[in-house]
């Protein structure tokens, strides 16, 4: 289907917005009235620029407070409209969005509104302009799509149809299934926006908190399915008002936006062809639309590795922690200063030649790459690239295996590795037995693998990163949590495989402040699962690495609110072990000290089906890290 | 009255919070449970630190989900409470805030809740602890103060009373007058928070958007008046959750907080003593409380001057604009490189020796000082200092007049000048006839004075600045406006004298982005009033300074929505004059080019009682400035 985006969804001048939409690959744009009015470009120049960029100008919007007015006002409104029609002719735009009257003075009379919209359509027709009438959720008389369709049906003019906007419909909890009753050819335009569920004034919600499909809480696949079932064949167009997008690089926003439409179309296409589906809408015959189909979603089997980049001093600290946790330095890369550290099937690569070292950050240790084990690495990489993930240059040495990799929005490299690879196989061949001096042998600890990786995100790109990891790795997002850290609120969202084979935790500072966000890129952690957190803490201590010290007051509080025995609590206090509980599930976890202000490790033990991340303890962990840092 | 602040209102560690509260001058704090739990300081050390800082620990809070539970849960909750009582003994805190049960499972039975709270109070008494029971606005059973008081009255225990929180009461629109019916000695604690009016989920509203009294939309003077009328004599304590405060310097937040309480107490004190008041509460006898009384509010007569600091190149551009606007360089400061430029009674000082030049910014022109004409400069300065405005060192030269000045939160110097000063008087004596080479004589233009000054604020300190200018200069704040600029949303709030003698417009970038916020401190403008905006624009052009060019599309749009004649519109287009209308009032205004990326001038003409600032045109002005900058 044709893909569009409203210029109001992007930051910058009209010219910058058009260039960003074209660069991302959109087919067209909705021109926002104020963007044109503010632009130094005459309308014909705007048209020429769009043409040269291969962009259609699909809609002019909005035209407000037109219908349901007294007769004198109608004449003024028609004059106002004619001026816009003339402008649209110059621009070469053929559809005008008219939103339902939101003024207090609107007259509650459908017949009047219909007659006035008929006049408007009649006036528009000679200009080659069609009117798409949209019910605003806060319209003073017409505020739902069924009502706007009744008025349009009554007005009965070939140049008049409805515009449907997912936000206005879903924010009010209206049932979108009724859209199927609207003739497809009378749906002149479709605007898509998602939004997180928020109990707030719908106008403010709409103006500040819209987001791209898949980034919020609405079911846009079902919604759009209804619109297609009605026979709509026009563009899928994103109209998203959001404080962050208004202030962000429009090229980045446009790419994020197009990714969201690809995911949506892919989901729609799979639904059509799913069990019982025959590619046709349930209501029977409908015009054929071509939906983008992506390669099949990946189903990661887990982490093949996590790569940490660190310069020598930092690398030494990482090695000390790994050794104390029972990892062994088992291999070295054949051509690069990359060490493989292994514990059972768990691999951590330590790279002291990452080209980013010394450039984007100070050389402090950082988790720079995730190796994801998948059944079909080629397919996964292909899907990622279709989702606008920038492919990374493959490792060059011809003797080396050619792992596909893409860059995540936060700069993390995501490698796709063949699932089930064992030593002797594929990319592991790039590593040989280590130089003797690098070898370390830690004591045995009951680690079970990488439980999750925590990545700090720039606040502005939190939703973008969430959609990226979700769509590229086939993960399900949990609800956002907000945690009060000593330096401000931290937003946290877990992304997991339904079978928990892969977990990623994204964190961001709500206002971009605080020491967690200080280091370039923000704090990161690698959480290792285990069967006995006390044994691992004990072994790590014996290996010379102390755990992060947690306040004694935490354990006094734990005594007041749990039934943990004094002996257990005392052992927890000794090792800085934190505790959480949910239903019958329990969670014990501890942290290593922060390595160089950015990277730290966590060791977790899940009991009784506990499925969280100990979020309630995050403020205490952060307070402890802050205390550690100020020592 | 005693003044307290909840530690949760401030950012940082518990120790940092205590030090910040003490430094601002608070008498006590409420200790937030999580702050203590996260702190590495043992309770006795916390107590010792507070004592050494002269701070009382007035409350421990919160204790959640205690009452309305089954019998087994009650026993667990009592154990949990006893642990906190023991902790409070160590801390030396005597009051525990218990908030109403907000869990789904709470039992809807007042008699049970009362009996359980009685048990709690009975358990607390031997520890010397009192229970202050608070109705949360989102409590699942008890969610208003009248209900919490009924339960407390039924429980009938000397160690049990209510805690009143202005947010929980006013956010729901409850009538606070009923508080007068609660015996004062049963009001164990009073928490104050303001908030902007927002139609949103009350829990989210409370957690993210509380602010200090006078910064939001609630009438906290009336609210607190009711509580005092009931006979409350405890602390006025601020409990404010706010995303920004959580991430800001706690010392600055604490000063802002104490200022808000001073303004509140002053207002209460004036209400008591006002016409018809006799210092006693309307309900008759009540315990005497001492309310802070500030010096009388100032009533500014207008701007005595605005001072612009600029290094030589920038100063030359400012001089060119002033001359083109018809200002004359009439005097020079006797001992400093400060020029006085005059147009009628309007004075602009041009300072090329400001010590901040070259330090906090690049030397670009900036409005650094406002001279405010007041009847009693000493009184105004005294009031400002009582409101924690840092006094600035007076100008030192003994031959110079000694103007009082204080620093605003945004760094602007605010000078208090005797109203009605004419040449030959007071501070003007510091200036003598100018050196000949400095003299310029502009053409006559019908300027009428300084209409307003626009100051860009750091987003985090917008409310602080608003309360500062309001309380120090006796201004009334208008509603916040949000304007969509090309680089993001801009928040704008006007502060005016009721008689419009003084207007200040505060602006901030909602996410701190965009070129308006780029320059150190953000863009500023000086708006000059006039009787004929066309004549001023014409004269300015003849003086060699072009107006800011506004997009032709703006004038096409103006044609579509106004009855302005084509001739007028064409003249407006030529001069970049913008237009706004409100009722019968009209507003014509234009801008000079941006001087060095930070300072610009505006010329405005108000007709028919127009009282706004042309906010609807702000996006077009900003787009034009952005276009100008990218040339």
pLDDT at position B369 is 94
d(CA B503, CA A219): 48
pLDDT score of B353 more than 80: no
Which range, of A346-360, A492-506, B82-96, averages the lowest pLDDT?
Answer: A346-360
| pLDDT(A177) > 70 | yes
> What percentage of chain B exceeds 70 in pLDDT?
91
The confidence score (pLDDT) of residue A439 equals 47
In this prediction, residue B539 has a pLDDT band, given cuts at 50, 70 and 90, of: very high
Q: What percent of chain B has pLDDT over 90?
A: 70
Gyration radius of chain B over CA positions: 28
Task: Mark yes or no for CB contact B486/A12 under 8 Å.
Answer: yes
Inter-chain touch A201–B200, beta carbons under 8 Å: yes
pLDDT band at B311 (very low <50, low <70, confident <90, very high): confident
What is the number of other CB atoms lying within 10 angstroms of the CB of residue B545? 19
**CATH fourth-level superfamily of B302-629:** 2,3-Dihydroxybiphenyl 1,2-Dioxygenase, domain 1 (3.10.180.10)
Partner residues linked to A59 by β-bridges = A30
- Confidence check: pLDDT of B281 > 60: no
Q: Which residues from chain A sit within 8 angstroms of residue B204, using beta carbons?
A: 198-200
Section B291-320 average pLDDT = 91
Partner residue facing B34 (CB), from A11, A83, A619 = A619
Q: Which of B460, B549, B557 is opposite residue A37, by nearest beta carbon?
A: B557
Return d(Cα B525, Cα B509) in angstroms, integer: 15
Highest mean pLDDT (candidates A398-407, B130-139, B244-253, B488-497): B130-139
The mean of the pLDDT values for chain B is 89
Shortest alpha-carbon distance between residue A624 and chain B (Å): 7
Round to whole Å and give the CA distance between A37 and B557: 7
Query: With an 8 Å Cβ cutoff, are A79 and B560 in contact?
Result: yes
Closest CA to B577 of B600, B598, B558: B558
Residues A265-274: tens digit of each pLDDT:
999 999 877 5
Q: A141-145, B230-234, B242-246 — which is least confidently predicted?
A: B242-246
Helices assigned H by DSSP within A503-550: 515-518, 533-542
Cβ contact A253:A26 at 8 Å: no
Beta-carbon separation of A627 and B43 below 8 A: no
**Ordered alpha helix ranges (H), B362-460:** 377-386
pLDDT computed for residue A481 by the predictor: 87
- Are the beta carbons of A36 and B12 separated by less than 8 Å? no
Question: Measured between alpha carbons, how far is B393 from B444 in angstroms, rounded to an integer?
Answer: 38
Q: Is A438 exposed, middle or buried (0-12, 13-18, 19+ CB in 10 A)?
A: middle
B567 in Cβ contact with B610 (< 8 Å): no
- A83 CB neighbours in chain B (<8 A) are 556-557, 559-560
How many angstroms separate the CA of residue B416 from the nearest CA in chain A?
A: 36
Which of B503, B475, B494, B502 shows the shortest CA–CA distance to B297? B475
Task: Give A195→chain B minimum CA distance, Å.
Answer: 15
Going from the C-alpha of A13 to that of each of A37, A40, A191, B585, B619, the distances in angstroms are: 11, 9, 22, 31, 11
Q: Mean pLDDT score of chain A, rounded to an integer?
A: 89
Tell me if B408 sits within 8 A of B470, measured CB to CB: no
What average pLDDT does range B5-33 have in this prediction?
95
The DSSP-derived string for A121-138 is: HHHHGGGT-EEEEE--TT
- Helix axis angle for A110-124 and A145-155, nearest 10°, is 60
* 3 state SS of B625: helix
Cross-chain Cβ contact B39/A204 below 8 Å: no
| Lowest model confidence (mean pLDDT) among A263-272, A586-595, B268-277, B292-301 | B268-277
Nearest alpha-carbon partner for A589 in A532, A519, A515:
A532
Average pLDDT over residues A345-360: 77
The pLDDT of residue B280 is 42
HEC-encoded secondary structure of B270-297:
HHHHCCCCCCCECCECCCCCCCCCCCCC
Instruction: Provide mean pLDDT across the span B124-144.
Output: 96
Interchain CB distance below 8 Å, A12 and B42: no
pLDDT surpassing 90 at residue B364: no
Q: Are B262 and B293 in contact (CB under 8 A)?
A: no
User: Looking at residue A510, what is its pLDDT?
Assistant: 80
Q: Summarize pLDDT for A22-77 with one digit per residue, the tens.
A: 999 999 999 999 999 999 999 999 999 999 999 999 999 999 999 999 999 999 99
Question: Which chain A residue has the Cα nearest residue B626?
Answer: A13
- Does the pLDDT at position B284 exceed 50? no
Confidence of residue A194 (pLDDT cuts 50, 70, 90): very high
- Its sign, for the CA torsion A101, A105, A110, A115, is negative
Least confident residue range of A344-353, A372-381, B477-486: B477-486
Kind and range of the H or E element at A532?
Answer: none
φ/ψ region of B12 (left if φ > 0, alpha if ψ in -120 to 50, else beta) reads left
pLDDT at residue number A276: 40
**pLDDT value for A262:** 94
Q: In the prediction, which pLDDT does B361 show?
A: 52
In the predicted model, what is the mean pLDDT of residues B98-119?
97
- What is the Cα–Cα distance from A222 to A168, expressed in whole angstroms? 15
Indicate whether B26 pLDDT > 70: yes
Strands A481-485 and B56-63: unpaired
Q: What is the pLDDT of residues A518-551, one digit of tens each?
A: 555 578 999 999 999 999 999 999 999 999 999 9
Are A38 and B624 an interchain contact pair (Cβ–Cβ within 8 Å)? yes
Q: Kindly state the average pLDDT of the residues A205-222.
A: 88
Of residues A210 and A572, the one with the higher pLDDT is A572
Closest CA of chain B from A12, distance in Å: 5
Please classify residue A628 by burial: count the beta carbons closer than 10 Å to its beta carbon, then call 0-12 exposed, 13-18 middle and 19+ buried. Answer: middle
A436 pLDDT higher than 70: no
B619–A40 C-beta distance less than 8 A = no
Q: How far is A275 from chain B (nearest CA, A)?
A: 40
Query: Which residue of A lies nearest to B624 if distances are taken between CA atoms?
Result: A38
Q: How far apart are CA A263 and CA B350, in angstroms?
A: 59
Assigned fold of B3-273:
TIM Barrel (3.20.20)
pLDDT of residue A282: 45
Number of A to B CB contacts under 8 A, please give it: 155
CA distance B379 to chain A (A): 39
Q: In chain A, what residues touch B553 (CB-CB under 8 Å)?
A: 36-39, 42-43
What number of other Cβ atoms are within 10 A of residue B541's Cβ?
Answer: 14
pLDDT of residue B275: 46
pLDDT band at B398 (very low <50, low <70, confident <90, very high): low
Q: Do B201 and A198 touch (CB under 8 A)?
A: yes
**The predicted structure's pLDDT at residue B276:** 40
ipTM of this complex prediction, to 2 decimal places: 0.84
CA dist B557 and A625 (Å) reads 57
Q: What is the largest CA-CA distance in chain A?
A: 92
More confident residue, A96 or B434: A96
Rounded CA separation A479/B554 (Å): 44
The binding site of B for Mg(2+) comprises 452, 525, 602
H, E, C per residue of B560-597: HHCCCCHHHHHHHHHHCCEEEEECCEEEEEEECCCECC
Q: Which of chain A's residues have a Cβ under 8 Å away from the Cβ of B37?
A: 551, 553-554, 556-557, 620
Contacts of B40 in chain A (CB under 8 A): 549, 551-552, 624, 627
Please, which pLDDT band fits residue A3 given cuts at 50, 70 and 90? Answer: very high
Strand order in the sheet with B302-309: B404-407, B413-418, B366-374, B302-309, B346-351, B338-343, B328-333, B431-432
* Torsion, CA B154, CA B159, CA B165, CA B170, rounded to 10: 20
Domain borders along chain B are 3-273, 302-629
Is residue A176 helix, strand or coil? helix
Of the candidates B33, B487, B551, the beta carbon closest to that of A39 is on B551
Residue A269 φ/ψ, nearest 5 degrees: -65, -40
Distance CA A606, CA B433 (A): 83
- Chain A residues with CB inside 8 Å of B480's CB? none
CB contact at 8 A, A26 and A15? no
The CA distances from residue A594 to A365, A457, A519, A616, B560, in Å, are: 10, 18, 12, 20, 62
- Euclidean distance between CA atoms B456 and A445, whole angstroms: 58
Q: Do B198 and A201 touch (CB under 8 A)?
A: yes
Q: What does the pLDDT look like over A250-290, one tens digit per residue?
A: 999 999 999 999 999 999 999 877 544 444 444 445 567 88
User: Average pLDDT, stretch A98-117?
Assistant: 96
| A247: nearest CB among B8, B84, B513 | B513
Angstrom distance (rounded) from CA A217 to CA A239: 16
Task: Compare CB distances from B551 to A37, A200, A488 and report the shortest one's residue.
Answer: A37
Give the model's pLDDT for residue B433.
79
User: B interface mutation test: which of A17, A40, A250, A488 has the most B CBs within 10 A?
Assistant: A40
The answer to whether B198 contacts A200, with C-beta atoms less than 8 Å apart, is yes
- Please tell me which residue of chain B has the smallest CA distance to A514: B247
Contact A473, A453 (CB under 8 A): no
Q: Which of A240, A486, A508, A562 to mutate to test the interface with B (most CBs of B within 10 A)?
A: A486
Chain A residue nearest residue B84, CA to CA: A560
Rounded average pLDDT over B232-253: 88
Q: Which of A262-271, B292-301, B512-521 has the lowest mean pLDDT?
A: B512-521
Residue B520 has pLDDT above 80, yes or no: no
pLDDT band, residue B514 (cuts 50/70/90): low
Strand, helix or coil for residue A575: helix
The shortest C-alpha distance from A35 to chain B (Å) reads 9
The percentage of chain A sitting over the pLDDT mark of 70, rounded to a whole number, equals 91
- In the prediction, which pLDDT does B278 show? 41
* Nearest neighbour of A200 by CB, restricted to B200, B549, B554: B200
For residue B517, what pLDDT is reported? Answer: 62
Instruction: Give the angle A350-A351-A357 at the CA atoms, nearest 5°.
Output: 130
- The CA-atom distances, in angstroms, between B438 and each of B317, B323, B341, B441 are 14, 11, 10, 10
Nearest C-alpha in A relative to B250: A487
Give yes or no for residue B556 having a pLDDT over 90: yes
Q: Where are the alpha helices (DSSP H) in B274-426?
A: 312-324, 377-386
- Least confident window among A47-61, B259-273, B324-338, B437-451: B437-451
Helix A552-561 / helix B71-91 crossing angle, nearest 10 deg: 150
pLDDT tens-digit series, residues A371-383: 999 999 999 999 9
- The pLDDT tens digits of the residues spanning A302-318 come to 999 999 998 888 899 99
Q: Dihedrals φ, ψ of B225, to 5°?
A: -55, -40
pLDDT at B217 over 90: no
For chain A, the C-alpha Rg in angstroms (whole number) is 28
> Rounded distance, CA B181 to CA B175, Å?
12
Three-class secondary structure assignment of B464-487 = HHHHHHHHHHCCEECCCEEEEECC
Residue-wise pLDDT for B39-94, tens only, equals: 999 999 999 999 999 999 999 999 999 999 999 999 999 999 999 999 999 999 99
How far is the C-alpha of B325 from the C-alpha of B342, rounded, in Å? 10
Sign of CA dihedral A606, A607, A610, A611: positive
């Amino acid at each position: 289907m044709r893909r569009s985006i409203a210029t109001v969804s992007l930051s910058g001048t009209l010219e910058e917005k058009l260039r960003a939409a074209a660069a991302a690959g959109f087919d067209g744009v909705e021109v926002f009235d104020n963007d044109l009015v503010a632009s130094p470009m005459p309308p014909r120049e705007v048209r020429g620029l769009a043409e040269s960029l291969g962009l259609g100008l699909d809609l002019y919007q909005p035209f407000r407070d037109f219908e349901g007015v007294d007769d004198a006002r109608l004449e003024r409104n028609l004059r106002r409209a004619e001026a816009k029609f003339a402008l649209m002719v110059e621009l070469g735009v053929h559809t005008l969005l008219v939103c339902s009257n939101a003024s207090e003075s609107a007259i509650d009379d459908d017949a009047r509104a219909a007659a006035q919209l008929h006049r408007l359509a009649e006036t528009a027709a000679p200009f080659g302009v069609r009117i798409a009438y949209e019910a605003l959720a806060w319209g003073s008389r017409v505020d739902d799509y069924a009502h706007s369709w009744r008025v349009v049906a009554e007005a009965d003019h070939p140049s008049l149809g409805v515009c449907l906007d997912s936000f206005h419909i879903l924010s009010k909890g209206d049932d979108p299934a009724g859209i199927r009753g609207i003739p497809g050819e009378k749906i002149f335009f479709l605007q898509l926006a998602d939004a997180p569920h928020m109990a707030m004034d719908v106008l403010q919600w709409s103006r500040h908190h819209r987001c791209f499909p898949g980034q919020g809480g609405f079911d846009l696949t079902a919604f759009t399915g209804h619109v297609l079932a009605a026979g709509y064949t026009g563009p899928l167009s994103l109209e998203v008002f959001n404080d962050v997008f208004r202030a962000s690089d429009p090229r980045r926003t446009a790419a994020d936006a197009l990714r969201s439409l690809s995911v949506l179309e892919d989901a729609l296409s799979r639904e059509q062809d799913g069990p019982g589906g025959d590619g046709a809408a349930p209501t029977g015959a409908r015009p054929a639309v071509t939906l983008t189909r992506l390669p099949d979603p990946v189903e990661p089997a887990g982490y093949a590795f996590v790569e940490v980049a660190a310069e020598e001093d930092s690398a030494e600290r990482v090695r000390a922690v790994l050794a104390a946790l029972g990892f062994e330095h088992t291999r070295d890369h054949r051509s690069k200063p990359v060490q493989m550290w292994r514990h059972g099937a768990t691999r951590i690569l330590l790279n002291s030649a990452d080209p980013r070292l010394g450039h984007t950050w100070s050389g402090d240790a950082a988790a720079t790459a995730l190796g994801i084990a998948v059944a079909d690495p080629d397919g996964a990489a292909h899907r990622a690239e279709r989702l606008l993930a920038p492919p990374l240059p493959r490792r060059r040495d011809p003797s080396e295996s050619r792992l596909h990799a893409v860059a995540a929005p936060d700069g993390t490299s995501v490698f796709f590795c063949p699932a089930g690879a064992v030593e002797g196989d594929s990319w592991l061949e790039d590593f040989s037995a280590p130089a003797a001096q690098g070898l370390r042998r830690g004591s045995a600890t009951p680690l079970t693998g990488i439980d999750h990786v925590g990545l700090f995100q720039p606040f502005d790109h939190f939703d973008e990163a969430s959609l990226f990891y979700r769509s590229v790795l086939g993960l399900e997002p949990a609800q956002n949590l907000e945690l009060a850290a000593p330096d401000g609120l931290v937003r946290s969202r877990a992304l997991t495989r339904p079978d928990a084979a892969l977990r990623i935790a994204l964190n961001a500072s709500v206002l971009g402040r605080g020491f967690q966000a200080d280091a370039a890129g923000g704090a990161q952690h690698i959480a290792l699962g285990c069967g006995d957190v006390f044994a691992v803490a004990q072994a790590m201590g014996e290996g010379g690495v102390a755990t992060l010290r947690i306040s004694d007051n935490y354990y006094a509080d734990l005594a007041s609110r749990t039934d943990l025995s004094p002996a257990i609590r005392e052992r927890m206090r000794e090792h800085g072990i934190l505790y959480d509980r949910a239903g019958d599930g329990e969670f014990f976890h501890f942290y290593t000290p922060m390595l160089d202000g950015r990277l730290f490790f966590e060791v977790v033990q899940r009991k009784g089906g506990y499925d969280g991340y100990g979020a309630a303890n995050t403020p205490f962990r952060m307070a402890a890290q802050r205390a550690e840092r100020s020592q």
